[in-house]
Structure 1
């Protein structure tokens, strides 16, 4: 009987202890998944004469604190240069925690400075801490969002330094709305340029195009032809990158109008070549526009020739010849090749002459006109020997031509 009682007592105690252990386990706090942001925690600091949250610092105390924080910045730089990266950012974090007592703008500018260093040092946690703090400043939990344009501008610059383009664009758009209300067109233009540059940097071409279209509209309204031209050139590049070929063509046609009005004919051939390339790309989906490509390449080489831009003329002819060949128009391609030889000769481009004769030889081979092909390769070989380049290739081409 006593034995049975001892077993029951032992089991009961075991269950009690197990229940207690489970209860204690349940009461233990779950550790944070992410460490607290060192810029958000509030700790006492010997550099503060008292708690500024209860009694703000005087102007003299702020000046003394500013000098002390500048010294902390220098200490952090020295630590980083000595290889103590962790110690450097610990010191910077202390500096940044105290910067808030010198005003929001002062803190944001300091966050921008350290954020750029953190990005350069590839310290992702530190970049995240700084980005989170910037967001807390922009949209504090218990206060209305920031509306001061100067602080918003500084936030945008800081977001750029920590590579947060969406956050930067968000605050710049707020600033843009503000300067438009003030009818400050100079600031509006500068902000649009900044926004456009950010979109371009992150390859957001649709948004970049929309921004530069606004800039072009403002320049047109103000009659600023130089700016109009710069924005159109940027737009043409953006539309090319985003494969919006028709928009690129339309934009370049506007540039052609400006150059023609200003009698700037020297710049036309390059544009005409680019327009021809645009039509060639469009023709992959819509073959009916291929004639436009031919016309622009032809106009480009004629305009370049008239301006004695023989190298540019040769470039246009190369495009034209390649297009003729792609359409199986070898007669036209060979005729254009004779003009290309003249262009390259006038340009003094021996390499271009060598490549042109090679191209002619290949076309005659396609037509099985072997004597003409042999003659073209022989001419190409002469230039290859002068250049000491591709001699073996031309000899091989000549040897492989069937005998008459």
Structure 2
């Protein structure tokens, strides 16, 4: 009886092991189907290659002939992809890429970059994956060999950039940065930092982007490069604003105002003041004490813009001031400012802004239950809407509603 029980148990165990083995094999097959091997890693004979017995290298003549043949393959693929046979085109490009490595690593990376950009534009995700895998293998080999080939590192960074593999691009350009610093090539250092900064921005990594542009700013100041100093300050103001580092943005913008004032270049000041005010307005969400600073900067932006006859900028500032007054229930001030806005938009020939200004005035009068004045404002708004052929129905409904509600 015991022997029979042991036999049953043994049979059940063997049966389970067989099932598990079958499932494992099926899983492997499934994974192979899901992740097919890269066509760039196939080691198949190619008629374009000469007989390479004893693993000999190609002669200069053979290399030149191969390059000519590969350029023809590239051109053939370009022609085919324009005829919308993308599968066939990329089969040809993959063949070209497999053979490009015989021409050296730099030639291969340049070709991978070229075809990778096409793959991205054509939304060929698998091709992008194959090319990115190959580039990472090349990069790994370069790191192991402690490569100091500056041209190759630049080419690799550019390839990653075209494939939109921003973090990998940054890692390649970091190596470029090390090499150009060793060579004390300040121009190449600046260009490389710009590339790294752009890649961080592409990844919306504002903290790292700010660090890079602070380094660029320091270099510009040390070199007395006033033009680039201004450009880097503007870029930092943008980066800090986007990264919600509003106080840092304000500090940079105030520096730009100071520079513009000292150089008697006042044209940019209204725009800068508007940006400062907007950052203070954001800070005021957490700390209401900043509201007054936002208001002061909007007011300064309006005053300077008006003097410079920058009526569009003046109108932008006035709209912000009106919103401020309304939020503080300072209705009289809001209405007075709205009348200035009407004049400003008229001088700017901004009929759309003028229409919105009358709508805003009508809305304020409605809140005050001054229906006759509200009606007049909406009627003037309708006149402009009819000229623009825009929002006519909205103003018509506002007027009808007012007349029905007040029986005018």
TM-score by length of 1: 0.85
Provide the rounded CA distance (Å) in 2 between the counterparts of 1:332 and 1:166.
52
2:308 & 2:395 partners in 1: Cα distance?
34
* Aligned counterparts of 1:87 and 1:238: Cα–Cα separation in 2: 44
| Structure 2 equivalent of residue 11 of structure 1 | none
| Contact 2:378–2:399 (8 Å) recurs in 1 | no
Who is 1:137 aligned against? 138
Deviations 1:361-387 (A, max 9, x none): 43334334x2xx523531441353254
Alignment of 1:194-233 (within 5 A): 194-233=195-234
Matched, 1:278 2:279: yes
**1:68 aligns to what?**
69
For 1:384, which of 370, 382, 385 is the aligned residue? 382
CA contact (8 A) 2:166 2:202 kept: no
Q: Alignment partner of 1:257: what SS?
A: helix
Contact 1:357/1:377, CA 8 A, preserved across alignment: no
Q: Structure 1 residues 72, 327: CA separation in 2 closer, same or farther (over 3 Å shift)?
A: same
| Structure-2 residue corresponding to 1:57 | 58
How far did 1:133 drift?
1.1
Q: Is the 8 A contact 2:236 2:249 kept in 1?
A: yes
Separation (CA, whole Å) in 1 of partners of 2:401 and 2:194: 55
Judge conservation of contact 2:160–2:168 (CA < 8 Å) in 1: yes
* Conserved 8 A contact 1:239-1:247: yes
Which of 396, 400, 404 is equivalent to 2:400? 396
Q: 1:364 to 1:82 in 2, by over 3 A?
A: closer
Mapped to 2, the partners of 1:281 and 1:334 lie a distance apart of 25
TM-superposed CA distance for 1:235, in Å, is 1.9
Alpha-carbon offset, residue 287 of structure 1: 0.8
- How many residues in Structure 1 have an aligned counterpart in Structure 2? 383
Whole-angstrom CA distance in 2 between matches of 1:400 and 1:348: 34
Cα distance per residue 1:56-106 (max 9 Å; x no partner): 111111111111111222232333334433332222222211111111101
Alignment root-mean-square deviation, CA: 3.0
Q: Is the 8 A contact 2:280 2:293 kept in 1?
A: yes
> Does structure 2 retain, via aligned residues, the 8 Å contact 1:272–1:299?
yes
Residue 351 to residue 90, structure 1, CA distance change in 2 (3 Å): closer
CA 1:244–1:71 in structure 2 vs 1: closer, same or farther (change >3 Å)?
A: same
1:78 and 2:79 correspond: yes
In the other structure, the counterpart of 2:333 is 332
The answer to which of 237-246 and 393-402 deviates more is 393-402
| Larger Rg, first or second structure (1 or 2) | 1
Deviation of the 1:391 alpha carbon = 4.5
- In the TM superposition, what whole-angstrom CA distance separates every residue of 1:107-133 from its partner, at most 9, and x where no partner exists? 111111111122222222221111111
Counterpart for residue 101 of structure 1: 102
Deviation at 1:329, TM superposition (A): 2.0
The answer (yes or no) to whether the contact 1:361–1:374 under 8 Å persists in 2 is no
Aligned partners of 1:381 and 1:394 also within 8 Å: no
Aligned partner of 1:304 in structure 2 is 305
In structure 2, relative to structure 1, the CA distance for the partners of 1:106 and 1:301 (3 Å cut) is: same
User: Is the Cα–Cα contact under 8 Å of residues 39 and 129 in structure 1 kept in the other structure?
Assistant: yes
In structure 2, relative to structure 1, the CA distance for the partners of 1:349 and 1:70 (3 Å cut) is closer
CA apart distance, 1:150: 1.0
Contact 1:138–1:145 (CA under 8 A) maintained in structure 2? no
Look up the SS of the partner of 1:243 in the other structure.
coil
Q: Is the 8 A contact 1:199 1:207 kept in 2?
A: yes
Contact preservation (8 Å) 2:361, 2:377: no
CA contact (8 A) 1:205 1:241 kept: yes
Residue aligning to 2:113? 112
1:378 and 1:398 in contact (8 A); partners too: no
Unmatched segments (≥5 aa) in structure 2? 1-10, 387-391
Q: Answer whether contact 1:172 1:195 (CA < 8 A) is retained.
A: yes
Residue 126 (1) aligns with residue 130 (2) = no
Change beyond 3 A, Cα 1:362–1:75: closer
Cα offset for 1:203? 2.1
Shift in Å, 1:281: 0.9
Secondary structure of the 2:184 match is: coil
Q: Is the 8 A contact 2:365 2:373 kept in 1?
A: no
1:157 paired residue number: 158
1:191 is aligned to 192
Any gaps of 5 or more consecutive residues in structure 1? 1-14
Deviations 1:334-364 (A, max 9, x none): 3323332332343344444443343334333
Q: In structure 2, what is the Cα distance between the partners aligned to 1:155 and 1:124?
A: 19
Structure 2-normalised TM-score? 0.84
